[in-house]
Structure 1
Amino acid sequence: MSSDLTSTAADGAPHVYGSSDAPDELNAALTGGEVPVAVYGLGKMGLPLATVYAEVTGNVTGVDVDPGVVRRVNRGGSHVTGEPGLDDAVGEAVAAGALTATGDGEAAAEAARLHVIIVPTLIDEGNEPDLSVVTEVAGTIAAGLEPGDMVVAESTLPPRTCRDTLLPLLESEGGVPREEFGLAFCPERTSSGRALEDIRGAYPKIVGGVDDESGRLAELIYGNVNSNDVIRVSDATTAEAVKVFEGVYRDVNIGLANELGRHAGELDVDVTEAIEAANTQPFCEIHRPGAGVGGHCIPYYPHFLIQEFDVDSRLMETARDVNEAMPAYTANAALDGLLNEGVDPADASVLVLGLTYRPGVDELRATPALPIVEELSSAGTDVDAVDPVTDDGEPFERAGAAVRDLDDVGDGTYDAVVLVTDQPAFESLDVPALGPEDRDLVVVDGRQALTELRGRDGVAYRGVGVNV
């Protein structure tokens, strides 16, 4: 954003909150570029969101603390990988003058009349929700807040954050009377690898305001952004709960699948086969067991309820415990397999396939591969790790692994192979050929992606949830 941003801040821009304009007039102002929009956070979800807002409004400033991100966006480029269509969409929006980027959040806030927050909300070492980035952004917005402004939070938040934290902060630091600005929670419902599709309308958009006017405006705004339905719920707290509940459902369901998967040996059945058959009944939708749960969403969101509210949450806590134990379970399957083959783990070489938390997405946050590497390394094994999707091998090197290129793996010989993330590039890898000549190669299949190796000569197959 140019340095003259402050001098042109919102001159002539219409009020959004509390406007007397009819809905058609507000829609026309929004889509006609009369309402300056600031999107705070240009990360994996923020840049796609800013781009879609730019397509709709033609007047978006993206704010990010990383100067490299700002420079790249202003050159019409995207730093986010693995998002189909994003590079072209950013380039077109910048070329059209619909999207610019800046590191000056306060200047952007002074110019904007619609403020959209989409920055990470994580947990600290004690599993308490960490709202520091969100509140910092809210403070930046408050510095430029004017009567008639509308603030939208898309970052996933613990329920009651808008009501109890963001609203008082904006009011106290912004100097604008409470009745003269709006605040709504409109959670992103977006998956990596399909961000533009999701934002544009793959799913209904949930919106909820801290008051009726905020809810009404959020519904109007996202009626332009999202081609699917817009579901307006009672208030911002309900909308916050919707997003957290989605993540909790998946975590608990995966925890159930993982617990069932650990019964495979005792039941003497292939649990994944049983799950697939059970899911043909319309009231059953059990997820698949696996080596662990990662990413920036599912491992964190249950704590937004467990830690924040004085309510018995045994089911959510148990699911978290089960899922957090799966990396050690997976690593121990490899160690036990080595012992069964007469190999001391301290003398063994193990290859870990897949380091990102899911296929095709360069994201290491809460990846189960890291504790698996740590567990294997602590047992004394020599660990090689490979993943063609990410260039960030430093965490795994610190954990004791040697990070290899996929092209070099075929030249090695290993006592065990552990598949953590089933990257498509691994489909061409001849896994049995990686084993020693004088004994079976231990294969631990953490994603049921190597089931064709069951019963294969030279392979001692162990699958998570798969009985052999």
Structure 2
Amino acid sequence: MTDVCVHGLGHVGLPTAAVLAHEGYDVCGFDVDGSRVERIRGDDPAVDGSAELSAFVREALDGSLRVSTDPASAAVHVVCVPTPLADGPEPTADLSMVEAAGRTVADLLRAGDAVVLESTVPPGTTVGPFADALAGSGLAVGDDFRLAYAPETVAPGNVLAELRANDRVVGGVDDASAAAARDLYAGFTDGEVRVAASPTAAEFAKLAQNTYRDVNIALANEFARAAAAYDVDARDTIALANAHPRVDIHSPGPGVGGHCIPVDPWFLAAGADMELVRRARAVNDGMTEYVAELVADALGDRSPDGARVAVCGVAYKPGVADARNSPGRRVGQVLEAGGTDVTYHDPFVAAADVTTHLESALSGADAAAFTTGHGRYAEVDPERAAAAMDGTGAVDAVGVLDRRAWRAAGVDLRVV
């Protein structure tokens, strides 16, 4: 009998399935996307470009992990499907995939099984829409099967380490459900497994973590814009402020990317009056326009309409290939809407319109914008970069460049 069936083989589900298999569980990894399943079975199964993760998944596939477009009955079902934002006057969670996964589990559920939802969801989802979908099994939640919520906590680029080391939070509909989830995660993490009072409390805790980060990034971005108005260096002054033992201001930037931080606050605010959260979202989203304005200013006398700009950085954070909700992409789109010819560069992101050759991206550019803090950008020779460009303007939206060296090379550098 299958020990665990993991529903959803994306950025979280596939590594989770592989870790469980390495711990000795008999694991079925299920996904409705047949092309994804075939890719996982192929030569490069990782979803984030990590060679380490690819090798780890291949080892699991050679052992007790199998992947399929057919779900399996199992003692434990772990659901890791996406929860994107739905369109509307204000963004809300699209729970269609969570509910579909619940119906799939319901068709397989047997008395004594346990179900754990990991997908990031609004408070009340586990005991509400997800439990409603599971009701199709004819079994009673709590009495006949265990139900818990255990939010994922991993970051792209460091998934395996964080799966094994991070603390986890679990919340069950009753003590037995919480214990079943706690035992599952305690079996493969070195971190502490903390038991919340309920699934809703665990859902809230996950959203609070990323909302905290979003609000603090918004404050840093407000400081950056205010520093420009006062003609002081934002990053230097933030570093001075952070010398205080009770101050830890985040770093400003071109906006917030990835699947979690720009999304989760909306899940939390949807059911409560949270004006600060909404304002923080507006501030962070507004940094796209602000950086585009800095680029237009860096063009000098050249009109943005018809100018050529290199946007360097499409991944949403340094060192990864994940371009979901990419701030760099959004900056480029704002420039393109104004008639600018944009060339995208990123050393990690594979896309038809993204080059991995920096000098070709900079060649003939009237200005450049660095929108991801990849370490490789810090190593760029400013003299060579300046020689490749037609213009002399550049914007460092992430604080990755050596300001003195770039300005000494004749580049009119603006820093967020």
TM-score bucket (shorter structure): over 0.9
1:186-228 CA-partner distances (Å, limit 9, x unpaired): 1111011111111112x21111101111111111221112122
Provide the C-alpha distance between the structure 2 equivalents of 1:452 and 1:63, rounded to a whole number of angstroms. Answer: 52
Q: Is the 8 A contact 2:46 2:53 kept in 1?
A: no
Which structure 2 segments of 5+ residues have no match? Answer: none
When the two chains are superposed, the root-mean-square deviation of aligned CA atoms in Å is: 2.1
Aligned residue runs from structure 1 range 177-326, under 5 A: 177-178=140-141, 179-201=143-165, 203-307=166-270, 309=271, 311-326=272-287
Q: Quick check: 2:355–2:361 contact (8 Å CA) kept in 1?
A: no
Counterpart in 2 of 1:16?
A: none
Deviation at 1:174, TM superposition (A): 0.8
Equivalent residue letter for 2:346: D
Which residue of 58, 70, 79 maps to 1:117? 79
Tell me which residue corresponds to 1:39: 6
Q: Aligned runs of 1:66-215 on 2, under 5 Å?
A: 66-74=33-41, 78-83=45-50, 85-96=52-63, 98-105=64-71, 108=72, 111-126=73-88, 127-171=91-135, 173-178=136-141, 179-201=143-165, 203-215=166-178
- Using structure 1 for the length normalisation, give the TM-score: 0.83
Deviations 1:249-306 (A, max 9, x none): 0100000000000012222221211212222323211100001100111110011022
**Residues 87 and 319 of structure 1: CA distance in aligned 2, closer, same or farther (over 3 Å):** same
TM-score, normalised to structure 2, is 0.93
Distance in 2 (CA, whole Å) between partners of 1:144 and 1:130 is: 24
Q: Which structure has the greater CA radius of gyration?
A: 1
Moved more, 408-417 or 208-217: 408-417
- Find the counterpart in structure 2 of residue 62 from structure 1: 29
How big is the shift at 1:131? 0.6
Out of 367, 370, 373, the position equivalent to 1:416 is 367
Partners of 1:269 and 1:408 lie apart in 2 by 32
Aligned residues: 412
**Secondary structure at the counterpart of residue 383 of structure 1:** strand
* Aligned counterpart, 1:328: 289
Q: Structure 1 residues 378, 174: closer, same or farther in 2, change over 3 A?
A: same
Q: Report the counterpart of residue 382 of structure 1 in structure 2.
A: 341
Displacement, 1:411? 7.2
Distance in structure 2 (CA, Å) of the matches to 1:115 and 1:204 = 21
Is residue 416–residue 435 contact of structure 1 (8 Å, CA) maintained in 2?
no
Q: Distance in 2 between matches of 1:278 and 1:157?
A: 35
Deviation at 1:406, TM superposition (A): 1.1
Cα offset, 1:457, TM superposition: 4.6
Q: Which runs of 5+ in 1 are unaligned?
A: 1-9, 11-34, 395-402
Offset of residue 415 of structure 1: 1.5
CA distance in 2: counterparts of 1:266 and 1:423, whole angstroms: 28
Instruction: Call closer, same or farther: CA 1:271–1:55 in 2, change over 3 Å.
Output: same
CA distance in 2, matches of 1:286, 1:103: 45
* Counterpart position of 2:410: 458
Residue by residue over 1:128-182, the C-alpha shift from the partner in whole angstroms, topping out at 9 and shown as x without a partner, is 11011111111100011110010001111111101111122212x1111231011
Q: For residue 17 of structure 1, what is the aligned residue in structure 2?
A: none
Instruction: Find 1:367's aligned residue among 298, 308, 326.
Output: 326
Q: 1:266 to 1:73 in 2, by over 3 A?
A: closer
Contact 2:296 2:304 in 1 (8 A): yes
- CA displacement, residues 216-242 of structure 1 (integer Å, 9 cap, x when unaligned): 111122111212211111111111011
2:22/2:60 contact within 8 Å kept: yes
In structure 1, the residue corresponding to 2:245 is in which secondary structure? coil
